[in-house]
Structure 1
Amino acid sequence: MKTLSGKLEQLLLRAVDNEEIAGANILILKEGKEIAYAQAGYADRAEKKFYERDTIARLYSMTKPVTAAAAMLLMERGLLDPGGFVEDFLPGFHNASVAEGKGRTPARRPMRICELLNMTSGLVYGGDTTSISSIETEKLFHKVSERLLGKDALTTVEIANSLGLVPLAFHPGDSWQYGASADVLGAVIEIISGVPFGEFLKKEFFEPLGMKDTAFHVPQEKQERLAKVYERTPDGLILYADSHLGVPNAMAQPPAFESGGAGLVSTLDDYEKFASMLLAEGSYAGGQIIKPQTVRYMTQAELLPWQQDVLEQGWEGLSGHTYANLLRIVTQPGKACMMTTKGEYGWDGWLGAYFANSPKDKLTMLLTFQLKDAGTTSLTRRLKNTVWSELC
């Protein structure tokens, strides 16, 4: 009988052989102990560098749970009020407007910080050519990318203030849409803490947790461990080297823009420390990073009914879930399109990084690969179903 590690390895090898991915690794923990690990394929196909346990991956949106935890830490210290207004910290959000037809209308009220945490702010991402909000956001991030590594590169706070000038897709609180909220939240955290966002994360999370490979860039001495990014084409996988959402592909130098929504790199073992800390209600290696009640607030929240309706109608892959505090949270396992347990939470990333914690099962799953436009893929679901069917 194959071990769980062997089953997962076979699934990864098949995905590599079928050119679903170039390479990947996966780590499973139960009750705080490693149960399974598997890897397959290449981090760099041209150089024949294997995808290893210490391979560094771009997290993209799996950055968001870290940003949420930072906000929770400031909240428990009495420094951040989720009900407070974004415009009190970022003047670009004064007199915010909402797209209406071909014009704008004033927002009915200021945006609240909790609406950044829940993606109910009206901020969006680019890519939707039918939405003025999305078109203007796309233009802004194009400008960010043009100036990405130059002397005039836009900073975290400058970008957040610029997002405040873009017309919102809806009045704050009226609906739900995935977008640039976490980038604005990162800027709010920077302003409240009085230090650069990345410095705050390093001091409060990465150093106490021993996350030595997690940062907003990859220094020269670690560059050989950074996986290449690939994209699928009719002719198979090809190298993808463009930047996306203001995050440089090479990750070679400290960026002016420390994206709270997409900017971190990490390894399986590093992110496991963060995930395990949350699963242990904020404790790690005898220390308390966040208080238990804060973790419970972070991981047990829900959208309001009308916001939940929009989520369920617009994002099929999140059936059975709510979304709050920059996390997907399982509320009705029977509606989900893969095996899960009520109360499970986590998120994924644009290039395929995936994270799930199940408090009921005391189970953590972490997966990384680097594939353009991935998110939660069929491979991710097949791997997760294998894990949950064996351990839950």
Structure 2
Amino acid sequence: MDKKERIDRCLKQAVENGEIAGCCVLLIENGLEFCYAKAGWAAIESRTPIRRDTIFRLYSMTKPITAAAVMILMEEGLLDLYEPVANYIRTFERQKVIVGNTLAAAERTMTIRDLLSMTSGLVYPGKLNCAEKETAHVFEELTKRMYSSAPMDTIEFAEKIGNCPLAFHPGESWQYGVSADILGAVVESVSRMRFGDFLWKKIFKPLGMQDTGFYLQEDKKERLADVYENRKGIGLKLFSQDHLGIRIDAKPNAFESGGGGLFSTVDDYARFAQMLLNGGESGDVRIMQPETIRYLTGCGLDGKRQDKFSNWFGLDGHSYGNLMRVLYDRKLAGVLGSEGEYGWDGWLGTYFVNDPVRKITFLFMTQIKDFGTTNLTRKIKNIIFS
């Protein structure tokens, strides 16, 4: 049984077992398509199958594209990674940090680099501490206003987050949070363009990513995969709620989330991933210079920051930099791969990895609530890298 047959079997079993509704896999080696496989449904109820042009919600697989946008501005001399975030979002000037049971002034200002490495102290909504609770209040207001005549836009969201306490002093530790959303606002401030317009001009249009953006035109919505949740004892059920300020209906949104707002197809994202693997170019189009790509895809953490990241289940042997995981020690990893490979995943199960050693791009797309990277994703990756 060859790799394609093993992948087909793995995908079909996942659909038959009710793990997922449908999915697709794309594997590119040395710039040539080695394997495309699909199984199941984009919409169970209407029996709409997964197709090559099915559109998926990327969620956190948006983050590497946001990091690329920052690199473009850095390369153009418009942004310095050690600049204070407060240079662009005024509310970040006098931030407070949780210290024990009280709040204290931040020991230093937060920088753009802190946002790229998630060492900013910013968090996602939660109930653990006042940083998570106040961040949750911002998202609650964002959601309430999303369908009103005065929706919250990307800059206003960042300004409100700037007033929230930090979980730790900038640079002191590591925590996954809204850093990429703030970077989207920084890109807007520097470029004086809406974040989505900047991405279209600098990345999507040059690469021919026609189906990628923060919303979908009406004639494309029939290609959008439905989202499902796997309820214990019940099975797959349609999920139709907004999440983290991102509209489930794919309509235009004033808030363009650099952390999770993009929609795309497997082929569109492959164009972006291949551009990275090719040192910043695609055909006769150059997006970034090779040295910028090496920096974008080769950073990591150290010390206390790496110790905190190492608590992330399933990412043994990896570090984190520029909004992506980076494999640095194959001996510690629980999945096959090459040292120096990089990529990220998304809340609904989208996943990508680039391997510069073997010249491989691997993409997996599905739409299941809280899926992230699971044993199914790792099984497919192990087939490919074996």
TM-score, shorter chain, exceeding 0.5: yes
Identify the match of residue 218 of structure 2 among 214, 217, 220: 220
Aligned amino acid, residue 283 of structure 1: E
Cα deviation per residue 1:224-249 (whole Å; 9 max; x = unaligned)?
10000000112101010001110011
Aligned amino acid, residue 321 of structure 1: H
Is 2:208 aligned against 1:210?
A: yes
Please give the alpha-carbon distance, in whole angstroms, between the structure 2 residues aligned to 1:338 and 1:386: 10
Please give the alpha-carbon distance, in whole angstroms, between the structure 2 residues aligned to 1:186 and 1:346: 19
Aligned amino acid, residue 206 of structure 1: F
Please give the alpha-carbon distance, in whole angstroms, between the structure 2 residues aligned to 1:334 and 1:42: 37
How much has 1:146 moved relative to structure 2? 1.2
How much has 1:305 moved relative to structure 2? 1.8
Report if the CA contact (8 A) 1:6-1:38 is conserved: no
How much has 1:288 moved relative to structure 2? 1.2
Please give the alpha-carbon distance, in whole angstroms, between the structure 2 residues aligned to 1:15 and 1:149: 36
Alignment of 1:355-366 (within 5 A): 355-366=352-363
How much has 1:6 moved relative to structure 2? 2.3
In structure 2, list runs of 5 or more residues that go unmatched.
none
Please give the alpha-carbon distance, in whole angstroms, between the structure 1 residues aligned to 2:117 and 2:377: 24
How much has 1:336 moved relative to structure 2? 1.2
Alignment of 1:289-304 (within 5 A): 289-304=287-302
Please give the alpha-carbon distance, in whole angstroms, between the structure 2 residues aligned to 1:7 and 1:250: 35
Aligned amino acid, residue 285 of structure 1: G
How much has 1:319 moved relative to structure 2? 1.0
Task: Note the aligned Cα RMSD (angstroms).
Answer: 0.9
Any idea what SS the aligned residue of 1:334 has? Answer: coil
Report if the CA contact (8 A) 1:117-1:181 is conserved: yes
Any idea what SS the aligned residue of 1:183 has? Answer: helix
Query: 1:308 maps to which residue?
Result: 306
Identify the match of residue 136 of structure 2 among 119, 135, 138: 138
Superposition TM-score, scaled by structure 2 size: 0.98
Identify the match of residue 151 of structure 2 among 150, 153, 170: 153
Cα deviation per residue 1:321-353 (whole Å; 9 max; x = unaligned)?
110000100100111111111000000000000
Report if the CA contact (8 A) 2:207-2:285 is conserved: no
Report if the CA contact (8 A) 1:93-1:165 is conserved: yes
Query: 1:9 maps to which residue?
Result: 8
Is 2:340 aligned against 1:343?
A: yes
How high is the sequence identity, in percent, across the aligned residues?
A: 47
Query: 1:65 maps to which residue?
Result: 64
Poorly superposed stretches of 4+, deviation over 3 Å: none
Please give the alpha-carbon distance, in whole angstroms, between the structure 1 residues aligned to 2:16 and 2:81: 47
Is 2:349 aligned against 1:368?
A: no
Please give the alpha-carbon distance, in whole angstroms, between the structure 2 residues aligned to 1:156 and 1:26: 32
**Quick check: 361-370 or 99-108, which moved more?**
99-108
How much has 1:3 moved relative to structure 2? 3.6
How much has 1:149 moved relative to structure 2? 2.5
How much has 1:130 moved relative to structure 2? 2.0
